Structures are given as structure tokens and as C-alpha cells.
Amino acid sequence: MKFNTKTIHGGQKHEEATGSVSTPIFQTSTFAQTQPGINRGYEYSRISNPTRKALENSLAAIENGTHGLAFASGLAAIDCVLRMLNPGDEVIAGNDLYGGTYRMFTKLFQKYGFKFRFVDMQDATNVTNAISDATKLIWIETPTNPLLKIADIEKIVTTAKAKNPNILVGVDNTFATPYLQRPLDLGADIVMHSATKYIGGHSDLIMGALVVKDAQLAKELHFIQYAAGAVAGPMDSFLALRGIKTLHLRMQRHSENSKAVASFLNEHPKVSAVFYPGLESHSNHEIAKKQMNDFGGMVSFRLKDASIEAAHTFLKNTKIFTLAESLGGVESLMSHPITMSHASIPEEERLELGITNSLIRLSIGVEDVEDLMKDLEQALTK
């Protein structure tokens, strides 16, 4: 199947008892057994649930994987990956990470004896040079949150595994989605999504996902998921499965609108910098062109007035853009990273990365793009 067909039919079948075209919501905790230890494929919904299983099959199909796992949140999915490691093991991660991922690494797992090394992954040699005998996992976020940096997945995988073939490479594919980028095809071992975002697409669920190709790796991750219990519920699984069916349509419009918005901001006299991999001025624009089908729905920019007051003035004066956490919904959202998504990162580190007082992150929705640009224009001129 081609991708657009996979979003609707990939890994799916009509419900057997009634022929229901849409996967039903199996809102049950347990399942009847015919004899002790003998069931019809399901025994307890923490282990597996038919609605969640349909979603997991769909996720595997659209990422060109073989096994999908759905979790209660994106962070729960990352937590599951880290639980495969042991104290003393080292993780190499990008230095421009989602604040929640950084918080989990440094505030939770670091105190259990895990080691974390943060490098600029825009240059793959930085990753290779950081690898030590203790390195067990490389964690890539591309495009990054919030500066939309691009890492060359295939090059990082190739050079890392040449050094040590047992190193696992995981990729947070939340911003790109499998419509734009499929890391497993580029050699990654694990793909992670905060399915809360573009997979769900309607700002009405919290969910995470992992997709892999290796059966043994899937078995290990499923055991941790089952044993730790941070699973997605059937209602959220239903909503995410429904969201996937329009993923290709939404991502087309998100990408179209973002190109127009990024170009508009790039020419605006009150904007000092625009961060969007679709701009030719982006430092890794060519890598983005190579590994992505388009450039996605996220745009960040920095105001020329570097004060936090200028950012607050802009944020309170938009009419269509909503100031809110999260991203990837059909509606356009905006956020102020230093006080919202990246507040947990120490100020000195934020400033070193370029996450400044006047940095604003936009999640471009699927509205009429002319309305979006008019809204940005009037807010910028207040």
C-alpha cells in the first residue's frame, strides 16, 4: 500500500463479530476465558485490548515497522525505552530537546545512575565523537523542539553502529510524523511519537507510541509496558486511530500553511530570525530535503525586540492563534518556550541554545493561511 492508503487500511480489518467498519471501543477491563488460562486472544486490558491493538497495528503500518505499542503519554513511551537500560549506561541525546524529555533524563533517570551526554546533533560527528563503551542508546529529536534543528538520521545511525552495532538508536518523530519522515527506513531501531500531537490531531487526547521492526526488541518493550502499566485506554486509542485516517490530509495543509507563514515572518521587519527547515537559509535545509517529504507544521521565530515584555505583548494580541501548551492540532497554537514547554531547562542552558525571551513557537493549523498571516501581522504591529 501507498502511505495515504495505509493511514486508512494499514494493519486494519473489519470487526469480526458484527462487521463494523470502524474499530469499536472495547471499553472493558477484562475478558471471559473458556478455561483457566485459555482465552480468545485477550485476557486483561493492561496486557492488550482490541481497540489499542488496532491502533498499534496501524502505527506499525504507517511507520513501516512490524510492532507498535501505545502508551498513556509520550513521556511514558520514552520511559519504557529507558527502562531497558541499567545504571551506569549512557545515553547520548540532542542538546535541543523537548523540556519534558530533558526533565525525565536529568531529574529522574540520572539519579538512578544513568549517564546522559547532550550534543549538537546537527553535525553527526558530534554524536560519533561522544560515543563511549558505556553508550547504549542514542536519542534523536528531529526536527527539534523548539528550534527546528535537523539531524541526519541515516548518517548518525551508520556511524554509530560502525563503532558499536549494539547501540540502539531511537528517534522522536513527533514533529515530522510518518507522513513526512520514517526513521526505521533510515536505520533507526525505535520510533517514538507523542501521539497527543499530529497523530491524534484534534487536541483531545494524551498518548504516546513506539514502533520497531525487531521482534525481540518489541517483546522486551511490550513486557515493560505490561509490567509498568502505562498503557493507552480504549477511548483514546479510538480517537488516535480516527486521527490517523486523516493524517495525510492534515499534514499536507499544515505544511502548505507553514511554508507561507515562515516566508511571511522571514520578511517581517519586527522579526530577527525564523526557524523552519523549509527555508533555504536553514543550516540543515539540504538534510531536511533528503530525509523528509515536506517540512511540517512547526515554525519558531525571534522578535527583534528581545524583551520578554515584547513577547508577552505579541502573545496576548493574537485573535486566531491560541496561547496554549501542545501542538499538532487542527487549530493554530502558539507558545513561549522559556515559560512553558522549556521552563524546566536551566536559564543558562536555554540561553546557550538560543531559547531566549523573545522566542515564540507556532503550531500552524489548517485554517485559511491568509487569516493566519493577517492575525500575525496585526499582533506584530501592536
Other beta carbons less than 10 A from residue 51's beta carbon: 26
Q: Residue 347 pLDDT more than 90? A: no
| Ramachandran angles phi, psi of 136, nearest 5° | -120, -20
The percentage of residues in the chain with a pLDDT greater than 90, rounded to a whole number, is 95
Of 229, 303, 288, 249, which is closest to residue 80 (Cα–Cα)?
229
How much is the average pLDDT of 21-36?
95
Whether the ω angle into residue 269 lies within 30 degrees of 0, i.e. cis, is no
For residue 350, pLDDT over 90 is answered with no
Across residues 154-171, what is the average pLDDT? 98
Q: Strands of 271-275's sheet, edge to edge?
A: 271-275, 298-303, 359-363, 333-335, 322-323
State which fold the 3-243 domain adopts. Answer: Aspartate Aminotransferase; domain 2 (3.40.640)
In this structure, of 96-100, 255-259, 266-270, the range with the lowest mean pLDDT score is 96-100
User: pLDDT tens across 271-288, in order?
Assistant: 999 999 999 999 999 999
CA distance 43 to 48: 8
Domain with CATH 3.90.1150.10 in the chain: 247-381
Q: How confident is the model at residue 63 (pLDDT cuts 50, 70, 90)?
A: very high
Residue 61's pLDDT is 98
What is the reported pLDDT for 100? Answer: 93
Average pLDDT over residues 94-123: 96
Name the least confident of 13-17, 258-262, 311-315, 333-337: 13-17
Alpha helices in 245-298 (DSSP H): 247-266, 285-291
> What does the mean pLDDT of the chain come to?
96
What tens digit of pLDDT does each residue of 164-183 get? 999 999 999 999 999 999 99
Does 316 have pLDDT greater than 90? yes
Evaluate if pTM is beyond 0.75. Answer: yes
State yes or no: pLDDT of 248 exceeds 90.
yes
Q: Which of 184, 200, 201 is nearest to 192 (CA)?
A: 184
Cα(104)–Cα(110) distance, rounded to whole angstroms? Answer: 8
Active-site residue list: 46, 98, 172, 197
Report the distance separating Cα 282 and Cα 150, nearest Å. 9
CATH topology of domain 247-381: Aspartate Aminotransferase, domain 1 (3.90.1150)
DSSP state string for 78-117? HHHHHTTS-TT-EEEEESS--HHHHHIIIIIGGGGT-EEE
**What confidence category does residue 151 fall into, taking pLDDT thresholds of 50, 70 and 90?**
very high
Q: Which residue has the cell 474499530?
A: 23
Cα 190 to Cα 222: distance, rounded to the nearest angstrom? 13
Every domain range in the chain assigned CATH 3.40.640.10: 3-243
Of residues 206 and 342, which shows the higher confidence score? 206
Does 349 score more than 90 pLDDT?
no
Residues 19 and 287: their CA atoms lie apart, in Å, by: 45
Most distant CA pair in the chain: distance in Å?
73
Q: What is the pLDDT of residue 325?
A: 93
Helices 74-82, 215-228: inter-axial angle, 10-degree rounding: 110
Which value, in Å, is the radius of gyration of the alpha carbons in the chain? 21
Whether residue 318 is predicted with pLDDT greater than 80 in this model: the reply is yes
